[in-house]
Amino acid sequence: MVLEATTAGMFAAASALGDEVWTFWTFASSLILAILIGACLMSSVGVKRAASGTATAATSLVEFDEEDFLSMGMPEQPHLEGGFQPPNRLIHSNSAEAFDFDNENCKGQFLPLHRPTYDSRLNDSGQYRYGEHFTGKKRLWELRLRLQFKRRLNQTDLFFAVELEEYVPLSAATKRVMDLSVGGMRQVVGDRLYHTPGDPTEVAGERERPTIAMPLWTFDQFIETPEGETPPELTDPNLHEHGHRRFGQLREYRRMVDSLDLRPGPTFTFCFWGVSRFCDVIEWQATGIPIFTPLDLNLYCGRPPLHLVLYTLEGAGTGEEKRHLQSRKTYFFRCGFWSSLKRPSKEQR
Ligand SMILES: *[C@@H]1O[C@H](CO)[C@@H](O)[C@H](O)[C@H]1NC(C)=O
Ligand SMILES: *[C@@H]1O[C@H](CO)[C@@H](O)[C@H](O)[C@H]1NC(C)=O
C-alpha cells in the first residue's frame, strides 16, 4: 500500500535524525497524515449521516446549490470554505476581512489563507490577495486565529484537534496507516498527543468521537497582546513580524507557549501553517512528497468536512476516565471546512 510505505519511509528518515534535531519535517509529514486520516474518517461520517438522516450544523450549511454559495458571498474562484459552530455564516479563504466568531467561552476572528493552487500561473505570479505574503514561502495555506477568552483556562487541559462527529469503522489497512502516523507524531509531540478512533456504536453509554488532539505549541506562531492594546489585524501584511515563531527555536518556543496564561483580558493570536505544504486543501489532495503525490484525499477516504477545534478537557490527566468524551469537553473554537471544488454533496448528506 503506497501510503503505508510513504509513512514508514518518513518515520524511518525522521528517527535517523535523532532527538536533538528539530525534525520539523517529521512533524509536518506526520500531521499531514493525520489530516489525511481525518479526511478519511470524515468521508465515512458523511455516508453514515446520510444513512441515519442526522441533521447537524455542518450539514445544514451545505444544503445549497452553486448560485446559493455565490449569493452568500463566496468567491467564484476555487477556495477553502467552511462554517463555525455555532453557525453564523459561511466563511472562505483569502477574504479581505477576517470572520468573527463568538461562543460562550471565547470570541475572536478566523482568517484562512490559501494559495491559488488551482492555477499555477497565478500561484507563481503572486498577483492575488495575500500573494505578497506567500511569495518566497513554501506554505500552501495559513490559518490565523484571534482568541479572546471569556474564562481562564488551564493549558494542561487544552487541545487543538481535528475531530469527527461519529465513529467510523476502519479497514485494517487504514488502521495500520493510522497507527504508524500516530506513533511518529507521538515521538515528536510526546504524551500530549492524543489519538482515538472513537467508540463504536455498540458501546453502551456515552461514546467518544474520533479525534487527533495536539498541544498548543503545534501552532507555528503566537502573539500575546496585553489588555488595552490593539492586537494586529489578521489581515495585516506584516503579521509575521509580530510575536514569536517556532521555527529555529523549538525549545524556547515551547516554553513560552506552555507558560502563556490564557485568561480574559489579553488577545491571543495564533497562526498555523506547518503541515500546509503537504496538503492542498483547495485541490483536496496530499502533495509535496516526491513520487507519491499528488494523491487525491478522496482516493483513500476523504469526503469533507474536516473539523478544526480547540477545547479543554475536564480533569485531564486525572481520574479513571481517559476518553475525550463530549461531556468533558469545553469548546473554545469549532470550524468545519472543505474545498469549494469538493463540497459535501446533497447525495452525501
Ligand atoms: C504554488 O507555489 C508553491 C510555492 O512556490 C509551490 O510549492 C506549489 O507547488 C505551487 N502550486 C502550483 C499548483 O503551482
Ligand atoms: C493545571 O492542571 C494541572 C493538572 O490538570 C495541575 O497540575 C496544575 O496545577 C494546574 N495549573 C493551574 C495553574 O491551575
* pLDDT level of residue 52 (50, 70, 90 thresholds): very low
Residue 344 placed within a domain: no
What is the length of the chain?
349
Backbone angles phi, psi at 224, to 5 degrees: -105, 125
> What is the overall mean pLDDT for the chain?
79
Answer yes or no: are the C-beta atoms of 213 and 194 closer than 8 Å.
yes
Q: Give CA–CA dist 138/341, Å, rounded.
A: 22
Residue 346 placed within a domain: no
Residue nearest to atom 3 of ligand 1 (CA): 138
Judge if the beta carbon of residue 127 lies within 6 A of ligand 2: no
Ligand 2 centre to CA of 142 (Å) is 31
Answer yes or no: are the C-beta atoms of 109 and 97 closer than 8 Å.
no
Alpha carbon separation from 291 to 3, 120, 164, 303 (Å, rounded): 11, 19, 30, 24
Residue 186 placed within a domain: yes
Domain span holding position 294? 2-339
Answer yes or no: are the C-beta atoms of 297 and 338 closer than 8 Å.
no
Q: Which ligand is nearest to the CA of 318?
A: 2
Per-residue pLDDT, averaged over 145-174, amounts to 85
Residue recorded with cell 482516493: 299
Q: What DSSP line would sit under 124-188, residue for residue?
A: HHT-STTHHHHTT---SEEEEEEEEESS---GGGEEEEEE-SS-----HHHHHHHHHHHHHHHHH
Q: Give CA–CA dist 281/131, Å, rounded.
A: 17
Name the residue among 267, 207, 259, 277 with its Cα closest to residue 242: 267
Residue 96 placed within a domain: yes
Q: Which residues pair with 272 in a beta bridge?
A: 143
Residue 145 reports pLDDT greater than 60: yes
Q: Which ligand is nearest to the CA of 260?
A: 2
Judge if the beta carbon of residue 345 lies within 6 A of ligand 1: no
Name the residue among 222, 158, 195, 216 with its Cα closest to residue 35: 195
Among 141-145, 179-183, 312-316, 328-332, name the one with the lowest average pLDDT: 179-183
Ligand 2 centre to CA of 320 (Å) is 17
Per-residue pLDDT, averaged over 228-235, amounts to 97
Residue 21 placed within a domain: yes
Among 10-24, 55-69, 102-116, 173-187, name the one with the lowest average pLDDT: 10-24
Q: Give CA–CA dist 180/186, Å, rounded.
A: 10
* Cα dihedral 147, 341, 281, 12 sign: positive
Judge if the beta carbon of residue 115 lies within 6 A of ligand 1: yes
Q: Look at the chain and report how many structural domains it folds into.
A: 1
Residue nearest to atom 1 of ligand 2 (CA): 154
Specify the ligand 2 atom closest to the Cα of 155.
1
Q: Which ligand is nearest to the CA of 122?
A: 1
Judge if the beta carbon of residue 120 lies within 6 A of ligand 1: yes
Answer yes or no: are the C-beta atoms of 144 and 111 closer than 8 Å.
yes
Residue 347 placed within a domain: no
Judge if the beta carbon of residue 117 lies within 6 A of ligand 1: yes
Ligand 1 centre to CA of 17 (Å) is 27
Residue 106 placed within a domain: yes
Q: Which ligand is nearest to the CA of 137?
A: 1
Residue 14 placed within a domain: yes
* pLDDT level of residue 60 (50, 70, 90 thresholds): very low
Q: Give CA–CA dist 234/76, Å, rounded.
A: 23
User: SS3 of 300, please?
Assistant: helix
Ligand 2 centre to CA of 316 (Å) is 9
